[in-house]
Structure 1
Amino acid sequence: MSLSRPPDGGAVERCRRLLEPALREAIAGLHPWNARMAGFALGWSDADGRPRAGDGGKGVRPALALLAAEAVGADAGAAVPGAVAVELVHAFSLAHDDIIDHDERRRHRETLWKAYGVGPALLTGDALLALAVAQLAATPTAMPLLSAALTDLVHGQSADMAFENRPWHGPHAVTIGEYTEMAAGKTGSLLGAAAALGVTLGGAPPELGESMRRMGRDLGVAFQIADDVLGIWGDPAVTGKPVHNDLRREKKTLPVLCALAGDGAAGRELSAVLSAGLADEETVRTAARLVEEAGGRAAAHALAERHLSAALHTLDTHLPGATELRTLCKSLTHRTH
């Protein structure tokens, strides 16, 4: 099945049109209770199961898989099982992440656990993960790629959670290097798996799959940094989350780590504010201002661009004609939500 190109050439929308029927078919195989909650998580319905037209997510990961298959000369349809698998893993990870982070809103509506409860959301996440594995279980060349990505994803998530118990200062403080490795796992693992699955299911040799996996890890670091910037300064009307959300939770995000790494007056004041605790909204706003004044926002943007450049260099070296894939990769760090 090929991706017919609409007049506007919108690659992600083309991919979404090919993905959705296969994704709906997969979800239909779940227990009806889980299927209803999965439909809500994917943006297809409201909490009562009524169909809705709305934001079902950006569809970046499946688009990476489908465009990667096209980039090696295959029909995009060859990569549909991989695209479905990575989208299901992504939905699983969001369901669990929102519970871990106590996030009540995503995409301008309640998160899965807030709408249905923690237990049902956990079980639905598990169902999505099991369904993802089933998509590729019979494909020997593809399953190891998904398995490795899942291991890396959990490792990255664990590191991110462990950071919350680390101090802001001193020998046990989180370093920028540790953050980068965490982001490569937490976010980059699935982006890398998507691109690697695309070229592998498209018939490319294993070496190209490995190159695409490495490309995705760099891309994931850039993507996560962009997410960190939005988590502090993003417009709630666009992101669907409160402004300063990550800072309010005192997460060890890159802009804050970069701000604290400097030795200027704003960085020292920020250190004192964080040590005292962000007790109220005024203190949170003060901290956000100090992060920016200390250069944290600018440093985060610079590091994101560095990792994006590394990802694009890998892509250009191995798939020099992959124009749509390159455009999609570039768009991941230049976004508002």
Structure 2
Amino acid sequence: MPTVPSANPAEHLARTVDIVALLERGRAMSTPVLRAAVDRLAPPMNTVSSYHFGWIDAQGRPAEGDGGKAVRPALALLSAEAAGAAPEVGVPGAVAVELVHNFSLLHDDLMDGDEQRRHRDTVWKVHGPAQAILVGDALFALANELLLELGTVEAGRATRRLTTATRKLIDGQAQDISYEHRERVTVEECLEMEGNKTGALLACAASIGAVLGGADDRTADALERYGYHLGLAFQAVDDILGIWGDPESTGKQTWSDLRQRKKSLPVVAALAAGGPASHRLGELLAADVKSNDFESFSEEEFAARAALIEAAGGRDWTSEEARRQHAVAVETLDAVDMPEQVRAQLTALADFVVVRNR
């Protein structure tokens, strides 16, 4: 994984942050509200949602599944504190962002044909495509409902940011799907797609608590920029894991992104690099698009493509891009007047995103 840069003034304090405790705080404060929101759904959508979140197993029995990293709830609570508000103020925003994020996961898993998420069968695999679509739609509606129920001017501002982020997220997914059927995608196009698909919602998470806490647009916009660049760093690392990640850690198949023909950053960077490995990779991927048959591929064929991507420099370039986006995100925090402990926690969270292995 990429090495985190060390130039930020808050780094020394950031090293003292207990990142696990920070993530668990976000999870603990948001989960009761999230569960209450899911309980509003009509059967069987409430139980299907509970399965997706890992609260029950496929037979409806209580479970303790992996609920994800909880980065977005942690960001929303810190966002409120960055604006001088109590972390509780950010909870509705944290839950709303989580609902939108999981709406996107339910639909993405179906569109991508992913059968595993967080070491369990995906919702469409267990409950069918129709339920995956309906529950995703319901979670998106709940997100807006929860915010608007607050009935404040700040809630209206927060909802506007959330809906804009959601539209960009959907734009990114549409771009991602269209790129799978193209022989070539530029690095710039890939970064735009990932900025929409991942950066927009993390940007919203990093600013929504501040908005609910009464922050002005200048402060919220600066926190949003932090979240956007953090999202690009997050996705760059995710792209590396999508090809070379350990299935035991990621909960996905080996060569996951290659199986789906995703034009992720390592792939497009390798294709843009030039040289023998880049040229051969381009030939293979062009043939893949024409054949439209991955069912007969062996593990060795996927491994060969991954080796070509690495030989062409795609893996190293993506690691460097993760470091660059991390540095931009942390530097953006300089524009916000906030308690130093909160700055350190946001810096530590950025470090965690770049050095994670899942």
CA contact (8 A) 1:259 1:292 kept: yes
Compute the TM-score of the two structures, normalised by the length of structure 2: 0.88
Q: Tell whether 2:308 aligns with 1:293.
A: no
Q: Tell whether 2:139 aligns with 1:128.
A: yes
Partner of 1:325: 346
Q: Tell whether 2:34 aligns with 1:23.
A: yes
Runs (4+) of structure 1 exceeding 3 A deviation are: 6-9
List runs of 5+ in structure 2 lacking aligned partners.
Answer: 1-16, 289-293
Q: Tell whether 2:325 aligns with 1:307.
A: yes
Question: How many Å separate the matches in 1 of 2:178 and 2:66?
Answer: 31
The Cα RMSD (Å) is: 1.6
SS at match of 1:56: coil
Question: How many Å separate the matches in 2 of 1:334 and 1:47?
Answer: 33
List runs of 5+ in structure 1 lacking aligned partners.
Answer: 1-5, 168-172
User: Which digits, 9 at most, give the CA deviation of each residue in 1:22-70, with x for residues without a partner?
Assistant: 1111111111311101111111111122111121111111110001112
Closer, same or farther in 2 for the Cα pair 1:26/1:174, shift >3 Å?
same
Question: How many Å separate the matches in 1 of 2:191 and 2:212?
Answer: 29
User: Which digits, 9 at most, give the CA deviation of each residue in 1:76-97, with x for residues without a partner?
Assistant: 1111110110001111100000
| Aligned-residue identity in percent | 46
CA contact (8 A) 2:27 2:70 kept: yes
Question: How many Å separate the matches in 2 of 1:236 and 1:38?
Answer: 24
Query: Which of residues 281, 284, 288 in structure 1 aligns to 2:299?
Result: 281
Closer, same or farther in 2 for the Cα pair 1:91/1:7, shift >3 Å?
closer
> In terms of mean alpha carbon deviation, does 259-268 or 270-279 score higher?
270-279
SS at match of 1:32: coil
CA contact (8 A) 1:232 1:288 kept: yes
SS at match of 1:95: helix
CA contact (8 A) 2:51 2:60 kept: yes
Question: How many Å separate the matches in 1 of 2:99 and 2:248?
Answer: 26
Closer, same or farther in 2 for the Cα pair 1:257/1:34, shift >3 Å?
same
Partner of 1:206: 217
Q: Tell whether 2:83 aligns with 1:67.
A: no
Read off the aligned partner of 1:187 and give its amino acid letter: T
Shift of 1:165: 2.0
CA contact (8 A) 1:187 1:224 kept: yes
Shift of 1:71: 2.2
Question: How many Å separate the matches in 2 of 1:247 and 1:231?
Answer: 8
Shift of 1:9: 7.1
User: Which digits, 9 at most, give the CA deviation of each residue in 1:237-257, with x for residues without a partner?
Assistant: 110111111112221011011
Shift of 1:317: 2.9
Query: Which of residues 161, 166, 179 in structure 2 aligns to 1:163?
Result: 179
Shift of 1:299: 0.4
CA contact (8 A) 2:203 2:227 kept: yes
SS at match of 1:10: helix
Question: How many Å separate the matches in 2 of 1:9 and 1:36?
Answer: 29
Question: How many Å separate the matches in 1 of 2:127 and 2:240?
Answer: 30
Question: How many Å separate the matches in 2 of 1:41 and 1:152?
Answer: 23
Read off the aligned partner of 1:285 and give its amino acid letter: A
Read off the aligned partner of 1:156 and give its amino acid letter: G
Question: How many Å separate the matches in 2 of 1:307 and 1:9?
Answer: 23
CA contact (8 A) 1:43 1:57 kept: no
- Within a 5 Å distance, the mapping from 1:3-152 to structure 2 comes to 10-137=21-148, 138=151, 139-152=155-168
Q: Which has the bigger relative contact order, CA under 8 A and spacing at least 6? A: 2
Shift of 1:333: 1.9
Shift of 1:164: 1.4
CA contact (8 A) 1:79 1:198 kept: yes
Partner of 1:271: 282
Partner of 1:232: 243
CA contact (8 A) 2:106 2:132 kept: yes
Read off the aligned partner of 1:112 and give its amino acid letter: V
Partner of 1:251: 262
Partner of 2:169: 153
Closer, same or farther in 2 for the Cα pair 1:98/1:319, shift >3 Å?
farther
Closer, same or farther in 2 for the Cα pair 1:48/1:9, shift >3 Å?
closer
Shift of 1:318: 1.6
Read off the aligned partner of 2:147 and give its amino acid letter: L
SS at match of 1:333: helix
CA contact (8 A) 1:267 1:294 kept: yes
Shift of 1:319: 4.7
SS at match of 1:51: coil
